[in-house]
Amino acid sequence: MKKRQPFFNFSWEIFLIAGNLRLTIIVIPPISSYIMQSFDLDQTKIGLLTSIPLICFGLLSVLAPLVIRKLGSYRTMITALGILIIANFFRVLSAPWLFVGSFFTGAAITILNILTPTVIVERAPKHANVLNGLYTATLNLWAAGIGYLVAPLAKQIGWQAVVQLTSILPIITLAGWFLIKNKTSNNDLEKNTVSNQQNIKLIEIINHPKIWLLAIFMGLQSFIYYGLIAWLPSILNHLKLSLLATGSLFALFQFIGIPISYIIPRISAGKNAFKWVLGGLFVGYVSGLSLLNLKSPTLPVITIAIIALGLTTAAIFSLALGLITTLSDSAREISVIGGVVQSLGYLLACISPTLLGKLNSSFGNWNLPITLLLSLSIITILVGWLFLRENTFTN
């Protein structure tokens, strides 16, 4: 029992960390109408607000491994959670604070994005597959709960209070992190002696075709996912659904993917399995976006579309995240590859909310934005097939 207890505690910490990676992003779309009214913002500016964390992911992901190597994983976690607590609390004070605070929350989440797979391999290498599955599944669990509760709660207590309440989770996560023993201090002493070797690794990584393919794969699926996260409530409102139905379907979009997020890392390691997974993702994307783009879809049709898209976006994110670890031999290498892949990927994804919002404002409907997402989903699967040809899988 004593040997299992630390793993149990660390599992709960991963559960809490995953919540922080979704909470401050998911909280904005359901209350975007309140924010627009309070600060006199248009849809393009709201899209930019949702894009800010993605811009941070793109610009700062490649720098996150340097921060981790400088501070060590234990102190880096403390720093990132501290920034998240402060930025969440103060970003509701005014429109400028909203954008500045969103930048700092994005920077903190960027570090946590790179840090989490690193600490999983660092602290529980024998349980890495299980914890990666737990990590990706709980991302959707937190997002589902947030997506369902935010709008009704904002109506009761105000949107500013809701956003400030998101500081509670990083406080709890930070308290849990303090309870976990710092196991990285000895490894951190080596950081100066390996810096030159790390730079060589970075050059090798950037020059490798499969890293670029994985970065494009990550970027395209993120473009689609964050475009849907930013505008799905507005799309559902445009389809004349009630506030309750919109909140429920937005939560379903997040919740339905929880089981498959846990399963995908376990079944996609083999080459043949990866082919089947890609085929399923193709069907999910095309059916979900096509149904959502019908002229006057009924509620059952919309529900089927949301289920298909929820399953597909959850599965492909879990797949992309798992593929990073298949290209890595150590915690340090994972942080570098993850930084490069996520940086390049999110630079592509960060334009999604703003671009889709601009298209909607210009044409007055969501048909063209959804058609764009449909086209990109097909390209995403094609990139996945190219990656399949480049990469070596174990069966």
Instruction: Give CA–CA dist 198/251, Å, rounded.
Output: 41
At 306 the pLDDT is 95
Q: How far is CA 59 from CA 45, 77, 340, 388, in A?
A: 20, 19, 10, 27
Instruction: Tell me which range, 150-154, 220-224, 348-352, is most confidently predicted by mean pLDDT.
Output: 220-224
Q: What is the mean pLDDT of residues 329-339?
A: 69
What percent of the chain is modeled with pLDDT above 70?
Answer: 84
- CA dihedral of 52, 58, 63, 67, whole degrees rounded to 10: 50
The amino acid at 76: T
Please give the domain boundaries of the chain with CATH numbers for all domains. 5-390 (1.20.1250.20)
Q: How far is CA 341 from CA 105, 213, 336, 366, in A?
A: 20, 9, 9, 30
The residue that leads in pLDDT, 192 or 147, is 147
Binning pLDDT at 50, 70 and 90, where does residue 391 land? low
Which residue, chain included where needed, has tokens 């475009």? 227
Which residue, among 177, 194, 206, 203, has the nearest Cα to 332 in the 3D structure?
A: 194
DSSP symbol at 29: G
* Token pair belonging to 73: 């994983």
DSSP symbol at 393: -
Residue-wise pLDDT for 358-379, tens only, equals 898 888 889 999 999 999 999 9
Positive or negative, the CA dihedral 129, 132, 138, 143 is negative
Instruction: Give CA–CA dist 317/157, Å, rounded.
Output: 33
What ranges make up the beta strands (E) of 32-188?
none
Which residue, among 86, 115, 333, 43, has the nearest Cα to 208 in the 3D structure?
A: 333
Which residue, chain included where needed, has tokens 């009761």? 156
Residue-wise pLDDT for 141-150, tens only, equals 777 777 678 8
pTM above 0.85, yes or no: no
SS3 of 194, please? coil
The residue that leads in pLDDT, 300 or 242, is 300
* Token pair belonging to 370: 């959804």
At 371 the pLDDT is 94
At 77 the pLDDT is 92
Instruction: Determine how many CB atoms are found less than 10 A away from the CB of residue 166.
Output: 23
Binning pLDDT at 50, 70 and 90, where does residue 312 land? very high
Q: Which of 10-19, 144-153, 218-227, 274-283 has the lowest mean pLDDT?
A: 144-153
Q: What is the mean pLDDT of residues 127-151?
A: 74
* pLDDT beyond 80 at 107: yes
Q: Which of 7-16, 177-186, 345-354 has the lowest mean pLDDT?
A: 177-186
Residue-wise pLDDT for 251-280, tens only, equals 888 788 888 877 776 665 556 777 888 999
Question: 260-284 as b/e, with b when 16 or more CB fall inside 10 Å?
Answer: bbbebbeebeeeeebeebbebbbeb
At 186 the pLDDT is 43
DSSP 1-26: -TTTHHHHHHHHHHHHHHHHHHHHHH
* Token pair belonging to 366: 């969501």
Instruction: Give CA–CA dist 330/337, Å, rounded.
Output: 10
At 194 the pLDDT is 42
